[in-house]
Amino acid sequence: MKYIKAFRDANLAKMIADKIAAEVNDNQPYRLMEFCGGHTHAIHRYGIPDLLPKNIDLIHGPGCPVCVLPIARIDQAIALAELPNVILCSYGDMLRVPGTQQKSLLKAKAKGADVRMVYSINDALAIAQKNLSKEIIFFAIGFETTTPPTAVALLKAKELCLNNFSVFCNHVLTPVAMECLLQDENAEASVQLDGFIGPAHVSIIIGSDAYKKVAERYQKPVVISGFEPLDLLQSILMLVQLINEKSYGVENQYTRAVKPQGNIKSQALMAETLELRSTFEWRGLGFMPNSALQIKSAYRDFDAEYRFPLQMSQGQEHKACECGAILRGVKKPQACKLFAKACTPENPLGACMVSSEGACAAYYAYGRIK
Amino acid sequence: MCLAMPARIISLLENETAIINLGGVEKQISLALLDTEISIGDYVVVHVGYALTRLDEVQAQQTLALFAQMQSAKEETK
Amino acid sequence: MSGIKRRGALVDVKRGCVELSHGSGGRAMMQLIDQVFLSAFDNELLAQKNDQACFNTEQGRMVMTTDSYVISPLFFPGGDIGCLAVHGTINDIAMSGAKPLYLSASFILEEGFSLMDLQKIVQSMAAAARDANVKIITGDTKVVERGKGDGVFITTTGIGVLAQPINISADRAKPGDKVIISGYLGDHGVAVMSKRENLSFFAPVESDTAALHELVATMIAAVPDIHCMRDPTRGGLASVLNEIAEQSQVGFMIEENTLPIREVVAGACELLGLDPLYVANEGKLVAICKSADAEILLAVMQKHPLGKHAALIGEVVADANCFVQMQTSFGGKRMVDWLAGEQLPRIC
């Protein structure tokens, strides 16, 4: 598998790790947030913390779309799935996420709702074409990486007049969330950061320039990093060097896929079909203005929020669940009373334990040895 | 987030679709998001059945060359 | 067709489908049994057409197991539900070291299921049993209304005999023991997934479904004191190791570098976000033995066609937590935990 294996070489990793060790100042903390859950997953899967000096602290961020989706939206999706004559399609990641009272799409399916896992939104379109007498709702989640395929599907549905297809849109935006984390940096119980390991695949779409504003405004270095372990180590090395030089701004380690301007065509497809929501709730971060996308009125026929009565839900979290603080980077999973006790991957009480990208799931799967 | 993998284009089909190969696995994907010309043999980064971008092989080699350079520099100082 | 006399009209296998009458106990059921099942499984015990089969027992301890088979799709690259139902039950017997002798087969058919497909499945079962030298000597069919089944479900029960005084059991792993896997991991799971609706991809890999008792016989002949043996089916290697760790109150340390995984299986797992350690196998076994026996055992396994790619993948360690850990090829260590829920393809 070309361009995968070469970036997982153990000897090179050791060499970069040595270089990091040589560059760090012993008396200085390096608090680096990996924004993406994909990075969290890779960091633990490859045991990267073991390779780093003690004063480099990797703090996981809110970049797991499954984890940041507020429980009210999950409740709404479950309610949509339970409507008569509906087939609700979504990515495998969403099926086990607990809503209010631990209900999930899988549990709704067990009780008779027609819930189907798809690999791509195109598969949902195909299901709609095959089942014209049914309403097919696609439960769309994800950051900017997963949004353009939704845009293409909306265009296609309109072109084909596929009137039994609609999208329950929950796409959210990365730079806004980053800014929100930094905004209340001085507030109590907020996260202290020296730099960001920036998203890999989100940045393919939005480009590395998209983080310039945040980096400059809050004077933090951001290094866009690939998802393979050598990418991560190189990015950490770059961040250490930038922090030592007291410089800030955006640098790109993942040059083989990310361009400064991003993927212009994908951006245009999104702009054609989707627009900013005035506000959207994020689990852990609360309501943030302009932090999510909704379907434009020209495509309203394909917007599940307009086609179906949405159930109003307050969305009740488990009382002791610390997902919120964990998503803000303020707490580590071990600090949650439920972690690995009441809350396990078999019986997740919070979203961070469900998604394999969730900080809790990653710590549970890879971190309990120590 | 976002599971995406570099895979090689092995054939181009109608309607902006193509077949990719990853370690022998073949799958039909959409090229609808690409803003660059694609030819057989190119690598693309695939996510949920869509190519997000063409992988810049020159840049990939440069990143790998940089690692190799760091290593040889280190060996010289030994 | 020894001893089997056809009664009544021919069943229209080519165009027909399962009807409720095929399960009603009447003539239609007899015709189906005669022409689809008996003719395929054909043996003297079955031909007696009693509600049970009567046989002499051999010297030694008897071993019995039962398993139900439900799989979608019913036909997949390298096999189908029929041969799977024979291999799986034979393997469960074989993992004790016993020689499998007889199987029973029970079918739950869904009204409307194509008789052609049913015949294909039954013939595949018959061939698998014949190749394994195991007889299907009794059985049952029931028909459920359309929509209340998934084509066909099969339950097979197996009887075997353990002639030698050996004791292979999941509670016998001891620190220092070696772990051997009989070949490539994950072939079955990936072959089946490649044909699932909404997931379809092409992977040049076939299910590894196979009867392992002959491989086991050669292993026991060379190393009678194998401590544990299990076939890593659903839940894959990771689940089997966690089960043994729990039952023996030990831990495992396996080496990622030594795991035999085909590139295509690794590729499919990368694409779908799955871990090959959790993907199902249907023709593989994990054996645990004393360190001193490991090389001999590995060598005889590698000489057998079903163990050609056998590999030593790690060892049993003392661990009060019963953790299964893996030394990664990247140089770190990680937990190989129990599988949580079903392994679902993921996008993030």
In this predicted structure, the answer to whether residue C11 has a pLDDT above a threshold of 90 is: no
Q: Which residues of B touch C273 (CB under 8 A)?
A: 3
Q: Which of C148, C139, C128 is nearest to C82 (CA)?
A: C128
Chain C nearest-CA distance from B7, in A, is: 9
Chain A nearest-CA distance from C327, in A, is: 10
In tens, the pLDDT along A66-99 reads 889 998 999 999 999 999 999 999 998 899 888 8
Q: What is the pLDDT of residue C1?
A: 41
Beta-carbon contacts of residue A299 (< 8 Å; ≥ 6 apart): A154, A158, A273
| Residue C153 to residues A277, C113, C148, Cα–Cα distance (Å) | 49, 11, 11
Q: Which residue would you say has higher pLDDT here, C75 or C2?
A: C75
CATH number of domain containing A140: 3.40.50.11740
Q: Are residues A234 and A351 in the same domain?
A: no
In this predicted structure, the answer to whether residue B28 has a pLDDT above a threshold of 50 is: yes
Query: Checking phi first, is residue A26 left (phi over 0); if not, alpha (psi -120 to 50) or beta?
Result: alpha
Q: Which residue would you say has higher pLDDT here, A200 or B73?
A: A200
Q: What is the pLDDT of residue A63?
A: 87
Question: Given CB atoms, is C264 within the 8 Å cutoff of chain B?
Answer: yes
Amino acid at C54: C
Name A135's bridge partners.
A86
Beta-carbon contacts of residue C39 (< 8 Å; ≥ 6 apart): C1, C4
In tens, the pLDDT along C216-237 reads 999 999 999 999 999 999 999 9
| Residue A257 to residues A5, A113, A148, Cα–Cα distance (Å) | 16, 40, 16
| Residue C3 to residues C132, C133, C190, Cα–Cα distance (Å) | 23, 20, 42
**Own/partner long-range contacts of A292-298 (Cβ < 8 Å, ≥24 apart):** A292/A170, A292/A171, A292/A172, A292/A173, A293/A147, A293/A169, A293/A171, A293/A172, A293/A173, A294/A169, A295/A154, A295/A167, A295/A169, A296/A272, A298/A273
In this predicted structure, the answer to whether residue C189 has a pLDDT above a threshold of 50 is: yes
Chain C residues with CB under 8 Å of a chain A CB are 198-199, 263, 266-267, 270, 272-273, 323, 325, 328-335, 337-338, 340-341, 344-348
Q: Which residues of B touch C270 (CB under 8 A)?
A: 5, 22-23
Query: Cβ–Cβ of C331/A66 closer than 8 Å?
Result: no
Question: Given CB atoms, is A8 within the 8 Å cutoff of chain C?
Answer: yes
Q: DSSP letters along C4-69, please?
A: ----SSPP-TTT-B--GGGGSSSHHHHHHIIIIIIHHH--HHHHT--SS---PPPSSEEEEEEEEE
Please, are residues C278 and C238 in contact by the beta-carbon 8 Å criterion?
yes
Other Cβ atoms less than 10 A from the Cβ of A8: the count is 18
Other Cβ atoms less than 10 A from the Cβ of C335: the count is 18
Can you tell me the distance from the alpha carbon of A12 to that of A1, in angstroms, rounded to the nearest whole number? 18
Q: What is the pLDDT of residue C261?
A: 97
Q: Which residue would you say has higher pLDDT here, A184 or B17?
A: B17
Q: What is the pLDDT of residue A184?
A: 67
Q: Which residues of B touch A256 (CB under 8 A)?
A: 55-57, 59-60, 63
Q: What is the pLDDT of residue B1?
A: 44
Mean pLDDT of C242-264: 97
- Residue A312 pLDDT level (bands cut at 50, 70, 90): confident
Q: How many CB pairs under 8 A join A and B?
A: 128
- Cα A25 to its chain centre, rounded Å, is 32
Name C316's bridge partners.
C252
Can you tell me the distance from the alpha carbon of B67 to that of A15, in angstroms, rounded to the nearest whole number? 9
Q: Which of C145, C301, C170, C143 is nearest to C230 (CA)?
A: C170
Q: What is the pLDDT of residue A97?
A: 87
The proportion of chain A whose per-residue pLDDT surpasses 70, expressed as a percent, equals: 97
Chain C nearest-CA distance from B26, in A, is: 5
Give the residue on C whose Cα is nearest the Cα of B28. Answer: C201
Q: What is the DSSP letter of A260?
A: T
Question: Given CB atoms, is A15 within the 8 Å cutoff of chain C?
Answer: no
Give the residue on A whose Cα is nearest the Cα of C271. Answer: A119
Domains, chain B, ordered by start: 5-77 (2.30.30.140)
Beta-carbon contacts of residue C99 (< 8 Å; ≥ 6 apart): C93, C160, C161, C162, C163, C213, C217
Q: What is the pLDDT of residue A188?
A: 56
In tens, the pLDDT along C125-148 reads 999 999 999 999 999 999 999 999
Q: Are residues A293 and A362 in the same domain?
A: no
Chain B nearest-CA distance from A37, in A, is: 5
- Cα C66 to its chain centre, rounded Å, is 11
Mean pLDDT of B38-50: 95
Q: Are residues A159 and A261 in the same domain?
A: yes
Q: What is the pLDDT of residue C305?
A: 98
Chain B nearest-CA distance from A4, in A, is: 7
Question: What would the two tokens of residue C232 be?
Answer: 């890593």
Beta-carbon contacts of residue C178 (< 8 Å; ≥ 6 apart): C288, C289, C290, C291, C293, C294, C312, C314, C315, C316
Please report the residues numbered 145 through 174 in chain A whose beta carbons come closer than 8 angstroms to any beta carbon of chain B: 145-146, 148-149, 152
Helices (runs of H) and strands (runs of E) counted in chain A: 16, 13
Chain B residues with CB under 8 Å of a chain A CB are 1-6, 8, 22-23, 30, 32-35, 43, 45, 47-50, 52-53, 55-57, 59-60, 62-64, 66-67, 70-71, 74
Chain B residues with CB under 8 Å of a chain C CB are 1-3, 5, 7, 22-27, 46-48
The proportion of chain A whose per-residue pLDDT surpasses 90, expressed as a percent, equals: 66
Chain B nearest-CA distance from C241, in A, is: 27
Mean pLDDT of B8-32: 95
Which has the minimum average pLDDT: A311-320, B32-41, B43-52, C163-172? Answer: A311-320
Please name the fold of domain C178-335. Phosphoribosyl-aminoimidazole Synthetase; Chain A, domain 2 (3.90.650)
Give the ipTM of the model, two decimals please: 0.93
Can you tell me the distance from the alpha carbon of A58 to that of A44, in angstroms, rounded to the nearest whole number? 11
Question: What radius of gyration, in Å, describes the C-alpha atoms of chain A?
Answer: 21
Q: Are residues A286 and A139 in the same domain?
A: yes
Query: Cβ–Cβ of B52/A121 closer than 8 Å?
Result: no
Q: Are residues A313 and A335 in the same domain?
A: no
Question: Given CB atoms, is C344 within the 8 Å cutoff of chain B?
Answer: no
In tens, the pLDDT along A216-226 reads 999 999 999 99
Question: Given CB atoms, is A63 within the 8 Å cutoff of chain B?
Answer: yes
Q: What is the pLDDT of residue A102?
A: 83
In this predicted structure, the answer to whether residue B42 has a pLDDT above a threshold of 60 is: yes
Q: Which residue would you say has higher pLDDT here, C207 or C272?
A: C207
Can you tell me the distance from the alpha carbon of C101 to that of A204, in angstroms, rounded to the nearest whole number? 60
- Cα C235 to its chain centre, rounded Å, is 12
Please list, residue by residue across C9-33, b when 16 or more beta carbons sit within 10 angstroms of its beta carbon and e when fewer do. Answer: eebebeeebbbeebbeeeebbebbb
Please list, residue by residue across A20-42, b when 16 or more beta carbons sit within 10 angstroms of its beta carbon and e when fewer do. Answer: beeebeeeeebbbbbbbbbbbbb
Can you tell me the distance from the alpha carbon of C55 to that of C53, in angstroms, rounded to the nearest whole number? 7
Q: Which of B39, B64, B69 is nearest to A3 (CA)?
A: B64
Give the residue on C whose Cα is nearest the Cα of B46. Answer: C271
Please, are residues C316 and C176 in contact by the beta-carbon 8 Å criterion?
yes
Which has the minimum average pLDDT: A111-120, A268-277, C99-108, C333-342? Answer: C333-342
Q: DSSP letters along A316-331, please?
A: PPPTT--HHHHHTTSS
- Residue A2 pLDDT level (bands cut at 50, 70, 90): confident
For the packed helices A37-45 and A229-244, what is the interaxial angle rounded to 10 degrees? 110
On average, the pLDDT of chain C sits at: 93
Q: To 5 degrees, how large is the angle CA C50–CA C96–CA C190?
A: 90
Chain B nearest-CA distance from A143, in A, is: 8
Q: What is the pLDDT of residue A123?
A: 94
- Residue A146 pLDDT level (bands cut at 50, 70, 90): very high
Q: What is the pLDDT of residue C2?
A: 44
The proportion of chain C whose per-residue pLDDT surpasses 70, expressed as a percent, equals: 97
- Residue C24 pLDDT level (bands cut at 50, 70, 90): confident
In this predicted structure, the answer to whether residue C4 has a pLDDT above a threshold of 60 is: no
Question: What would the two tokens of residue A288 be?
Answer: 């943030």
Q: Which residues of A touch C337 (CB under 8 A)?
A: 345, 364-365
Query: Cβ–Cβ of C335/A13 closer than 8 Å?
Result: no
Q: Where are the alpha helices (DSSP H) in chain A?
A: 10-23, 37-45, 65-68, 71-82, 105-110, 121-130, 147-159, 174-183, 201-206, 212-217, 229-244, 264-273, 304-307, 323-327, 351-354, 359-367
Reduce the DSSP state of residue A34 to 3 states and report it: strand
Parallel, antiparallel, or unpaired: how do β-strands A56-63 and A30-36 relate?
A: parallel
Question: Given CB atoms, is A19 within the 8 Å cutoff of chain B?
Answer: yes
Q: What is the pLDDT of residue C332?
A: 79
Helices (runs of H) and strands (runs of E) counted in chain C: 10, 13
Given CATH 3.30.1330.10, say whether it is the number of domain C20-162. yes
In tens, the pLDDT along A274-296 reads 999 999 999 888 899 999 999 99
Q: What is the pLDDT of residue A367?
A: 66
Please, are residues A45 and A366 in contact by the beta-carbon 8 Å criterion?
yes
In this predicted structure, the answer to whether residue C106 has a pLDDT above a threshold of 70 is: yes
Cis before C73? omega within 30: yes
Please, are residues A143 and A173 in contact by the beta-carbon 8 Å criterion?
yes
Query: Cβ–Cβ of B1/A37 closer than 8 Å?
Result: yes
Name A32's bridge partners.
A58, A195
Q: To 5 degrees, how large is the angle CA A369–CA A370–CA B2?
A: 65
Mean pLDDT of B15-19: 95
- Mutation target to probe the C interface, by most C beta carbons within 10 A, among B21, B25, B27, B43 is B25
Beta-carbon contacts of residue C305 (< 8 Å; ≥ 6 apart): none
In this predicted structure, the answer to whether residue A271 has a pLDDT above a threshold of 60 is: yes
- Residue A120 pLDDT level (bands cut at 50, 70, 90): very high
Q: What is the pLDDT of residue A369?
A: 56
Strand-by-strand arrangement of the C178-181 sheet: C228-230, C286-289, C178-181, C311-317, C251-255, C324-327, C333-335
In this predicted structure, the answer to whether residue B2 has a pLDDT above a threshold of 80 is: no
Chain A nearest-CA distance from B48, in A, is: 5
Query: Cβ–Cβ of B53/A257 closer than 8 Å?
Result: yes
Mean pLDDT of C307-335: 93
For A122, which of B49, B56, B74 is closest by C-beta distance? B49
Q: What is the pLDDT of residue B77?
A: 65
Q: Are residues A94 and A194 in the same domain?
A: yes
Name C56's bridge partners.
none
Q: Are residues A3 and A32 in the same domain?
A: yes
Q: Which residues of C touch B22 (CB under 8 A)?
A: 267, 270-271
Q: DSSP letters along C114-154, please?
A: BHHHHHHHHHHHHHHHHHHT-EEEEEEEEEE-TTSSSSEEE
Enclosing domain of residue A358:
323-367
Q: How many domains would you assign to chain A?
A: 2
Q: Which residues of B touch A265 (CB under 8 A)?
A: 33-35
Q: Which residue would you say has higher pLDDT here, A97 or A304?
A: A304
Please, are residues C66 and C80 in contact by the beta-carbon 8 Å criterion?
no
Question: Given CB atoms, is A92 within the 8 Å cutoff of chain C?
Answer: yes
Q: Are residues A215 and A141 in the same domain?
A: yes
Other Cβ atoms less than 10 A from the Cβ of A137: the count is 25
In this predicted structure, the answer to whether residue C245 has a pLDDT above a threshold of 80 is: yes
For B22, which of C205, C271, C347 is closest by C-beta distance? C271
Please, are residues B8 and B20 in contact by the beta-carbon 8 Å criterion?
yes
Q: Are residues A236 and A313 in the same domain?
A: yes
Tokens 């309203």 sit on residue: A300
